[in-house]
Amino acid sequence: MDQVSVVCRRRHLSRRTEQAYRFWIRRYIHFHSRQHPRVVGPPGIVAFINHLASVGAVSASTQSQALNALLFLYRDVLEVEIGHLSGLKRIQRRDRLPVVLSVDQVAAILAQMEGITALMAHLLYGSGLRVTECMTLRVKDVDMGAGLIHVRAGKGGKDRTTLLPRQLERLLQRQLLRVAGMHKQDLARGAGFAPLPNALERKYPSASQSLAWQFLFPSRVVRTCPQTGRRLRWHASESGVQMAFKAALHQAEIAKHASVHTLRHSFATHLLAAGTDIRTIQLLLGHRNLKTTMIYTHVEQAIRTTVSPLDRLHTR
């Protein structure tokens, strides 16, 4: 498994992707009675993936993730030629419209939130960020003067720039001062290091202790890095804002199957309803394919006011 991690990092895959791949590779090895994948060979992939579909009852996206993990294992880690996987049964992916909250519903939910998690939720809706992107923002990524937020290594390893809501400037300035004060205390205790992506720590050894590279939403605890012995302060956990959103959704008495990611869907749909062109929304969301963004045109059309034929009947 160490070799899997080495190849993941060499290819600059995200930590989350690495964790997912390690998980599925372990499941695969246990499925084949702990035999080495070289012994099982590529045909073992078909048996495992079909098992997930028939017995595991997983979703299409979960099955695809497991398949990608095993293709990565054989092609990139073990360097084994796979060839055609005959008999592979793929789960049919269902076309689902994303859950979207109305403007009033978003306002009602945000009004129930407070503190740091409220600021996070406001950013998710006001800037269209993914939860992970929000958690991994650094001090240097907030450009108050230009009213922009720079997202580094978002989904797919892509950088992009999105809106910084003017309404949040004062709260963000207060948060930046809080981070600066915490960082000053950490430095006085011999800590003050932030983890850096890829090989930047070797290229810029002093950057890890600079304020610019500290997380905008830092963790409450400092952890010691086992490799370097440095005392690192990571970013806050995603679970904090996720649980706070669920509680606010309940308190606002909104009966929708929504998650904190719904705020991103709502950001796109409300921009479209306000007349923002679809290409601009694609850039703000960081979608590679315009077809991904086009789904919001269907959502926006679905929530427009449409007169029922029954109502037309009664108006005659």
Q: How far apart are the first and last CA of the chain?
A: 72
Kindly report the CATH number that applies to the domain delimited by 2-77. 1.10.150.130
Question: Catalytic site residue 122?
Answer: no
Can you give the residue ranges of every domain in the chain? 2-77, 137-234
Q: What is the pLDDT of residues 226-275, one digit of tens each?
A: 777 788 899 999 999 999 999 999 999 999 999 999 999 999 999 998 99
Q: Is 287 a catalytic residue?
A: yes
- The span from the CA of 59 to the CA of 36, in Å, is 27
Given the structure tokens 């001090």, which residue do they identify?
Answer: 139
261 is catalytic: yes
Predicted TM-score (pTM) of this structure: 0.79
- Which residues are 215's β-sheet partners? 138
| 8-state DSSP, 168 | G
pLDDT of residue 9: 79
Q: In DSSP terms, which residues pair with 138 in a beta bridge? A: 215
Active-site hit among 51, 140, 155, 246:
155
What would you measure as the largest C-alpha separation in the chain, in angstroms? 79
Burial class (CB in 10 A: 0-12, 13-18, 19+), 227: exposed
- 178 Cα distance to chain centroid: 25
Q: What is the pLDDT of residue 165?
A: 95
Q: Specify whether the CB–CB gap between 152 and 201 falls below 8 A.
A: no
Kindly name the residue from 15, 231, 246, 261 that is annotated as catalytic: 261
Sign of the dihedral through C-alpha 206, 129, 94, 291: negative
With a cut of 50, which residues of the chain have pLDDT below it? none
| 38 is annotated as an active-site residue | no
What confidence score (pLDDT) does residue 279 get?
93
pLDDT of residue 155: 81
189 is catalytic: no
Cα gap 41→71, rounded to integer Å: 11
Please give the pLDDT value at position 289. Answer: 87
Q: What is the pLDDT of residue 259?
A: 95
Instruction: Determine the length of the chain.
Output: 316
Given 122, 130, 138, 183, the catalytic residue: 130
pLDDT value, residue 305: 60
Report the pLDDT value the prediction gives residue 314, as an integer from 0 to 100.
61
Please answer whether residues 169 and 127 qualify as being in contact, where contact means their C-beta atoms are separated by less than 8 angstroms. no
